[in-house]
Structures are given as structure tokens and as C-alpha cells.
Structure 1
């Protein structure tokens, strides 16, 4: 699934919707800027849809009363004011309620998940964790008419070509009869149903697990769960392997191994003094892993396996993959992180530029202060930290900026 556009996380205030009975958000009133061109835009969409085999009946049912939704355009143009730490991201998505709901769903859908795991080789808890984080186990799939949301973004948003292609694909899905126009709902950016697939991802990865001829990721939990499993398998999920382990690093550890993404077997990492944080042995010492340090050496550190990167194909975010993996572990019955999160803040581009400017003033030859933390900046940070008597972990954050200022 191409996750360029996706649902706002469920941690925001949401209203629960029953599956198959979702109330669509009403389209906002058309703004003056749109008034002249909507008719022409709809006509152009119809010509493209007709060429792809969409009937006039389906087109009119889905697109006939189209009006751009100003709220969608507003959301598409918003940029986050502050960066989010891994602690904040994971904490908002992995909590007692989510864990409890996940365990309940594990019991309720045990037979189905077992069959899906047998077919696709993906552990049920990984599927449950993605389902939980994406839509709160189907509790909130988004209240937006997918066709109208995509139409709005194709008409007046950025990346109009991309969303225009997704719009036509959504109409093809309706033409194939997988869902009725009134039930094709999702996020403001076009991500649909329980798994929050974009239409193009639906075409590639959605499956008809229940065998009724329809790939219904909106109303059928088995279809949705199996579609997540098929997606993960398609990107190389390794059966029997986990996503990663929380670890402890030995005194004097060279943090360059973290930033260079050194990959080694868990056996070799153990030989270098890297141990599981809970004191247990690695159950599969031959598995390959790299180290992931989301908030510096003073916070939790992880040895992540190949499945961690497969999860990132769902959403290309380290924090997302960590949240999914951790929620899966908690659903199984695992505990929280052993090491506490440090009291720190993440830096946006301007903050990273400030760090680089301070390094330049101290004589470090790192190029320009562009806000991109590359190898030269990282090496300079580690050198400065060592000289300042700090842990030389190379982590760029609010604490580092404060120490340097």
C-alpha cells in the first residue's frame, strides 16, 4: 500500500461508527474559487472513467453530486508545527485500552486469524496491531466519501496527478462491485476501510477471504484482516520472526554502529555485549538485526529485524513500525519497555539548522546549515558530545540544542 496519504491517527477525538452504517460527512459548500471549473473537471473525470470501463450509472452514483470539500483541502495543506518524539507517538497508540481491545479481538477472531496466518505466514498479532493503529479495530474508518475526497484533492490539491489516478481507480473498484458507493468511506486523503488502503493498494493487495466474490475491506473483517496479511507477505514478511527486541548496549559502545545501520546476527550482537533488556536470551540467535535508537542512548534501544522494515512499507515511519511491533507484543502478553523514555523533545527543520549553525561556529566542517543530519553532522555531534563529557550517541534533539546553546 502506498501510504503517502493516510488517516489522521485514531488518538484524536473520534466518533465510533458501526461497520456498514457509516454516516458520510457532508461536503462543504463550494468556494468561489471552485465555482467556475467543477463541471469541466467532472466531465474530464467521466471521460477517463468511461475509458476504463466505468458505467454512467456507477459514475453518477459516486460522482454526480461532486462538490470540492474545503475541509479536505485545508487538511492537505497543513504542515505540522512541531516534530513528534517516538515516546509521544508510541504512547498515543499503545495504551491499556488499545491493548485490551486487541486481546479481545484476538479471541473473537482467533479461528479466522489462524487461517489467515496459515495462508500468508503472518503472525495474527501483527495483523491486529496494524488494524488497531489504523482504525481502532474498525471503530473509526474515517467518515469521508472516498470518491469526493479524492476528487477534491485531484481538483484543487497538491499532487493532483497522483490523486486523480487514485480517483479513477476508486471508480473502478465500485464498478467491480466490491462495495456500494455509499459505503466507500475512509480518511480525508482517500485511505479506505479497516486497513486504510489507498485504491491502488486495494487493487494490488485486497483479497476476498470469505469467498463471496467481493473484496470488501469496509464491511468484512476477514477480508480486511487477510488483506493486511497479504500486503505484509507481498513485501517479504518472514514467518516465525518477530519485528525486534528491546536491548541494552554495553558501556563504551560505539554508536556509529547505530547510525551506519550495521547489520549482524543476534549471536554476533550478543558477542559484542548487546543483550536483551529483559535479561532473557535471544530465542533465534541466527536472525539478522540492526540497532534502532529513536531517542538516543539514554532511552530504549532496539535490535530490529527484517519484519520491522516490512511494517514500514505500510507506513514509512520508524515510530509507526515501533508502535505496531510493540502493540503486537503487548497483545501477546508482553510488558512495556524496560528503559524509560528520556525527557526530551524532537527538533523540526529550524531546530536542526540551529544545531548545525552552532557546530559551524565551533569550527566543525559540516557544510551548510540545511537541517539535514548527514554523516558529517552526526560525526561532529558525537565529537562535541565526547568533548563536553556527554554520552556520544550522536542523537540530535532538544536536549542537545540546549546543551550546545
Structure 2
């Protein structure tokens, strides 16, 4: 669906997001994300990394011949789907295979950063300061967007900040070349060919010229890093100039498109995405899961209170989320969490957007401490954890190196069986115990 930045990639965040994107486009395909680290304003986005175009995209004559043959066959498929010859000629002229795109697609780091390190950069003081400046600079258009779509200006600005550092890292890779390369590659051909067709439809509609359609190496575009199919579904011409332009220096269309996306996915104005809470002694950690919800007033009867010690207002049904297990920040999350999650499915990303939006609205940092002495499990260690849990009789329903609901449930079942705090947190300590 969307987005990203440049820099260092983290496998856990990458892997945890892969499934969320592709579930929306294809039940059997992945779509990776990545993370960018900058010096002054450290950027972390969990999507394909936006990096400068790399010179020397050379490929062997044989490889290029196969790519050109594929491109010829693709033209016929595109024409059958309504792409006009003039559009194909303009967009595909001179398109070559980009081996650097495939190299990036295959390059997934072994170790990931824990959520507190992600948030240290995603909601850094510099990003908050830049976000406040962006809010002030674009206040009039953001207020109009909020009035139109019912999505708070701070939320839209936070999404903009995590996606492209408020427009400063939109990417410079030619979208058509990137998508054609990935569609030619066998690993995710179906998904990326659909994106390529959508990109051609965008060009044919007159929203952007082929040479101006640039973005991340994996095809995410503009200030808010929409993938082409998401653009077709959600992009809007907010400034009324006849084009849905998410690429230009003026971010109006892009910010309105992001708000449109969140609104279409159920955003409720005035409802928090989540609220930091404190858990009572003897809290039943088995209830801290997405499928178990109560009204905040009902949670209060069980001793779950706001970080300040009062009852959380009844904004709607809410679940308890423990992103770092029982030793870290505890959150009460509402349906708006799901709306952000539709944009990008990683909990870390959703919390980053939500917490940054809260900071832009004048709220404070999280009050609880994170277990900073811990480190995240590597991809290999996660697979080992799943293997050992399954062998011990706590089936994770697959060995894929991703800590999804099945793995969390297996961890919780193991913890319950051994009298441990059943917070479902896949820690290194737990792996060492299994060993």
C-alpha cells in the first residue's frame, strides 16, 4: 500500500509489517517495509526505504534481453486492461532492469530494534519540533482537511512526519522502473504487476507525468508514500487543480489523501488511538490481548487506570496492549488504533503515529519505563523460539520468524503452564529458558 524512507532496515519491524500490507492487496503475497535513520531528525518508517537513485544499474545483456521480452508481453497485458498505447509508450520508453531494487528487496537485516529505540527516533524531540513547525506552517490547510474528513490535524501531521520527515524524504527512484523490475522478479510478481498497472492508470488519468512519478525503491510515492493501488482508492484533488498531486512541494493533496484514507478505514474524531494506563497488582495478563475488550469504565473496576491514576473516559470498547510485555508501557487501545493499523500494520508504527500526534497536541511522553536492558530477538532467534515452543507442545502454527498472534498465544500458554507472567512477550530470557 504505501510508503517509506531511507537508511537501515530492521527485520523484525520489516517482517511484522509485511503481512499487513499484502493482506490488503493479495492474501498470498508480502510487501516489506523498512526504516530510515537520519542524523539530526532520525526517521524510522516501516516501509520500503527511500534512497537516492544509484548509478550503474547495469545488468547482463542476457538478463536485459529477458527483461525486455517480459516488458513486451506486459505491454499486451496492460493494453488488455485499458492502458492506451500512448501511455505505454510514454511511461515505458527506455525503462531498464534495476538490479539495485532487487538487491534492496533481498537485503533484510538480521537484528531489529526494540520498540523503545524505534520510538526514540520516531518521536524524537527534533521530530516533535519539526512537526510543530509543520503544523503552524500548514495550519490553514490542515484545519480544512480536519473539517472535511474528521481526522485531527495532529494525526495527519504525525503520519506525514513518520512517512517522509514532513516531505523532506519523498524518494527519487523512478516508480515505473522500480515496479517493472519487481514485477519481472518472480518473488512477488503478481503484487507488483498490479501496482505497475495502477501506476500506468495514474499517468493515463493525467495526475502526474511519467518523469515526475518518483518515490521509494519499492514504488511508494509522495509525501505520504502511497502505493499506486492505494492512490487510486484514496487520493484526492484537495486543492482543486484537476490533479491528485502527492509528489509536488505543496503537500495539500497528499495530506488530504492520508486523511481520506484514515476516514475510510473508520477513524473517529475525538477518540484516542490509545491511552497509557497503569495495571494493578495481580492483573490478569491473559486479558491483555486484542480480542478482549471492555469499556474503560469496566477496565477501571478491574483496577486499570490512566497513567495519572484516574479512570479513562468511555471513548468506546478498548483492549490492553503490552508492546514490551509486563515490564514496559501498558496501553489501552481503541478502534482508531485499527484505522492507523490499516495504513501500516506494525504495532510499533501505529504507536509511533499515535504518540507523535499526542505530542504534537501538547501531551507528555509515556510515563512508564521500557525494559531497556532487553534486546529484540533476531529473525533467526524468533524462528528458534517458534521451533522450541512447538516442540514443547505450544504450537505456533508455523515457523516464520514473525511474532504474530499465534506465536504470542503460544508464548502465553507456555508462560501459564510454567507459572510465569503470561504477558505473551517473546523475550530473550524466554528463549534462554526454552533452551
Deviates most, 39-48 or 154-163: 39-48
Structure 1 residues 327 and 340: CA distance shift in structure 2, 3 A: same
Q: Report if aligned partners of 1:14, 1:140 keep a CA contact under 8 Å in 2.
A: no
- Distance of 1:368 and 1:191 partners within structure 2: 32
Q: Report if aligned partners of 2:396, 2:410 keep a CA contact under 8 Å in 1.
A: no
Indicate yes or no: 2:67 matched with 1:38: yes
**Residue in structure 2 matched with residue 18 of structure 1 by the alignment:** none
Displacement after TM superposition at 1:170 (Å): 0.6
Indicate yes or no: 2:408 matched with 1:380: no
Displacement after TM superposition at 1:352 (Å): 4.0
Indicate yes or no: 2:284 matched with 1:254: yes
Deviates most, 88-97 or 42-51: 42-51
**Residue in structure 1 matched with residue 336 of structure 2 by the alignment:** 307
- 1:145-164 Cα deviation digits (max 9, x unpaired): 00000000011251111111
SS of 1:129's equivalent? helix
Displacement after TM superposition at 1:345 (Å): 1.9
Displacement after TM superposition at 1:56 (Å): 3.7
- 1:124-152 Cα deviation digits (max 9, x unpaired): 11111111101111100111100000000
Structure 1 residues 147 and 354: CA distance shift in structure 2, 3 A: closer
Indicate yes or no: 2:345 matched with 1:329: no
- Distance of 1:6 and 1:223 partners within structure 2: 25
- 1:79-116 Cα deviation digits (max 9, x unpaired): 33124321122222110111111111111111111111
Displacement after TM superposition at 1:348 (Å): 4.0
SS of 2:325's equivalent? coil
When the two structures are superposed, what TM-score results if normalisation uses the length of structure 1? 0.89
- Distance of 1:91 and 1:395 partners within structure 2: 20
- Of residues 245, 252, 256, the one that matches 2:275 is 245
- 1:3-60 Cα deviation digits (max 9, x unpaired): 3446633325799xxxxxx985556112355132122222223223333444444323
**Residue in structure 2 matched with residue 125 of structure 1 by the alignment:** 154
**Residue in structure 2 matched with residue 273 of structure 1 by the alignment:** 303
The CA RMSD over aligned residues, in Å, is 2.7
Displacement after TM superposition at 1:313 (Å): 0.4
- Distance of 2:301 and 2:344 partners within structure 1: 33
When the two structures are superposed, what TM-score results if normalisation uses the length of structure 2? 0.83
Indicate yes or no: 2:400 matched with 1:366: no
Structure 1 residues 109 and 182: CA distance shift in structure 2, 3 A: same
- Of residues 240, 263, 288, the one that matches 1:233 is 263
- Distance of 2:72 and 2:311 partners within structure 1: 63
Displacement after TM superposition at 1:211 (Å): 0.5
Structure 1 residues 160 and 13: CA distance shift in structure 2, 3 A: farther
Displacement after TM superposition at 1:281 (Å): 4.4
Indicate yes or no: 2:325 matched with 1:296: yes
- 1:171-197 Cα deviation digits (max 9, x unpaired): 111111111111111111111111111
**Residue in structure 2 matched with residue 72 of structure 1 by the alignment:** 101
Q: Report if aligned partners of 2:110, 2:379 keep a CA contact under 8 Å in 1.
A: no
- Of residues 26, 34, 38, the one that matches 1:8 is 34
Which runs of no fewer than 5 residues in structure 1 stay unpaired? 16-21
Displacement after TM superposition at 1:403 (Å): 5.1
Deviates most, 113-122 or 257-266: 257-266
Q: Report if aligned partners of 2:408, 2:424 keep a CA contact under 8 Å in 1.
A: no
Displacement after TM superposition at 1:354 (Å): 4.4
Indicate yes or no: 2:80 matched with 1:51: yes
SS of 1:36's equivalent? helix
Q: Report if aligned partners of 2:389, 2:396 keep a CA contact under 8 Å in 1.
A: no
SS of 2:266's equivalent? coil
SS of 2:135's equivalent? helix
